[in-house]
Structure 1
Amino acid sequence: MKKVKKFTSKDYVAVVLYSVLAYIVMAAMGVAFSFLLPIAWPLISGICLLPVSLIYLLMAYRVGKRGALFGFSLVLGLIYALMGIVIILPYSVVLGIIGELILGGNPKNYRNFSRQALAYGVYAAGLGFGDMFTLYLLGQQFFEKMKYTDSLIDKLQSFATNPFWVGGNLLFTFVLGVFGCWISEKILNKHFRKAGYLDDF
C-alpha cells in the first residue's frame, strides 16, 4: 500500500479556495430557494448541496490526499463561525472526521468515486442537518436575531420536532449529495479530464 502523501502549500490553498466557492454557491442557492422556508425548510439543504458536489469532487480529485474533506468541512465551519454561528465550527470538525473515517485512509480511496460519493453524501446529510442542530442548541432566539418572523420561527420549530421531517432532511440531503456526485463525475469525465485539468492521475 502506498503511503498517503502529505499536504503541500498548493493543497492548502486549493482546499480553502474550493471551500469558499462552495460557501458562495450554498449561500446563493439558499437565497434563491428561501421562499421554501415555510413550506419545506428541511429540503432546502439538499437542494443547496446538490451543485456543491461538483466543487467538492473536483477538489477531492485534485488534492487526492487524506484531510481534504476534513479541511473542506473545517473551512466552511470557520466561515459560519465568523458569521456568528460559532456552534457550527465544532460540529463541522466532527463531520469532517466522520467523512475522513469513511474514506478510510487508503490512498486509493481519495480518488475513488464510490468512496468519495458515500463520504460526501454522509457529510452533506450532516451539514444539511446543521440548521436543525442550531435550532436545538440555540433556540428561537438565534433566529430572532436573524430577523425571522415569529410565525416563520414557529414553522421551523414544527419541522425540527417532527420525526418525519427530520428523517426526510437527512435522507433527502444524503440522496441528493450522492446523486450530485454521480452527475459531477460525468461532468468531470466529459469536460475536465478531456481538457487535461485532471490528467495527473
Structure 2
Amino acid sequence: MTEELARPSRFAFSVRDLINIGIFLVLYLITSAANALAALGPQWIYLALVVSAPLGGIVFELFLTRVNHPGMIFVFGIIFGGAISMIHGWQTIILVVICSVLAELMVWVGRYRSRRLNLLSYPVFQLWSMGPLLPIMWNAEAYKQMLITEREKTAAYADAVVEFSTNPLYMSLIVGGIVVFAFLGAWFGQVILKKHFEKAGIA
C-alpha cells in the first residue's frame, strides 16, 4: 500500500469481519493448548506461556491479513480476554485490553499492511500472557487460597506459584522469553504467508 493511501477509518463490522474474528480466535485458543505444560509444576506456569507464544504468532499474522479497518484486533482481544479471565481471574482482561489497544495502534499506523509493524504488533499483543500475574499482585494470599480451595492444589504448590511470580529475575526472563519467541513466531508466520498462502490466494 502506498504512502498516499489514507488509513482505513471505518468502524462498521461486516458479517465477514465477525466470522474472521471468530475463526482466528478459535485457532489462537487452540495454540494456547501448550499452556497445559503448566500441569508439570509451578515453574511451568509461565514457561508454558513462552512455549505457546510462537505458535500463536502464525495464527495472529494470518489474522492480520484479514484486518482492514480499526477495531478488529481490539474486538479479538476483548473476546479472548473475557474467555481467559474465567480461568486466570478478572484482572487478566485489564492487560489484554491494554495490549490489544497497543497492537491495534501499531497496525493502524502501518495502514494495516506494514509487514514490519504487523510483525512487531504480535509480541506487544502477546504480553497479555503476564495477565495471570495480576491477581497475585492484587492479593497474593487470596490467590493462594483460591488455588487450594477451588483448584484443589496443595499449600506447597500455591506457595511455589506465588514465589515464582514474585521473583524479579525469573519474571524478567519469562517476559524476555515471551517477547523473543513471539517475535520469532510472528516472523515465521510471515514467512509461511509469503511462501504458501499468498501463492494459494488465501492471504
> TM-score range with shorter-chain normalisation?
0.7 to 0.9
CA distance in 1, matches of 2:111, 2:174: 27
Matched, 1:92 2:96: yes
Q: Secondary structure at the match of 1:110?
A: coil
Residue pairs, 1:97-112, within 5 angstroms: 97-103=101-107, 105-106=108-109, 108-112=110-114
Matched, 1:53 2:54: no
Q: How far apart are residue 92 of structure 1 and its match?
A: 1.9
Contact 1:120-1:178 within 8 A present in 2 as well:
yes
User: What letter corresponds to residue 113 of structure 2 in structure 1?
Assistant: R
Contact 2:93-2:131 within 8 A present in 1 as well:
no
Query: Which residue pairs with 2:146 in the alignment?
Result: 142
Residue pairs, 1:35-50, within 5 angstroms: 35-50=39-54
Query: Which residue pairs with 1:113 in the alignment?
Result: 115
Moved more, 75-84 or 182-191: 75-84
Query: Which residue pairs with 2:202 in the alignment?
Result: 197
Moved more, 34-43 or 91-100: 34-43
Q: How far apart are residue 141 of structure 1 and its match?
A: 2.6
CA distance in 2, matches of 1:111, 1:152: 45
User: What letter corresponds to residue 186 of structure 1 in structure 2?
Assistant: V
Count of aligned pairs between the two proteins: 193
Question: Which structure: larger Rg?
Answer: 2
Q: Secondary structure at the match of 2:112?
A: helix
User: What letter corresponds to residue 16 of structure 1 in structure 2?
Assistant: G
Matched, 1:68 2:72: yes
User: What letter corresponds to residue 20 of structure 2 in structure 1?
Assistant: A
Q: How far apart are residue 188 of structure 1 and its match?
A: 1.3
Q: How far apart are residue 91 of structure 1 and its match?
A: 3.1
Q: CA RMSD in A?
A: 2.1
Query: Which residue pairs with 2:174 in the alignment?
Result: 169
Query: Which residue pairs with 1:21 in the alignment?
Result: 27
Q: How far apart are residue 43 of structure 1 and its match?
A: 2.1
Contact 1:81-1:88 within 8 A present in 2 as well:
yes
Moved more, 52-61 or 142-151: 142-151
Q: Percent identity?
A: 22
Large movers: runs of 4+ above 6 Å: none
Contact 1:16-1:75 within 8 A present in 2 as well:
no
Query: Which residue pairs with 1:133 in the alignment?
Result: 134
The alpha-carbon distance between structure 1 residues 36 and 65, as it changes in their structure 2 partners (threshold 3 A), is farther
In the alignment, structure 2 segments of 5+ residues that lack a partner are none
The alpha-carbon distance between structure 1 residues 121 and 109, as it changes in their structure 2 partners (threshold 3 A), is farther
In the alignment, structure 1 segments of 5+ residues that lack a partner are none
Query: Which residue pairs with 1:122 in the alignment?
Result: 124
The equivalent position to 1:8 in structure 2, one of 5, 14, 19, is 14
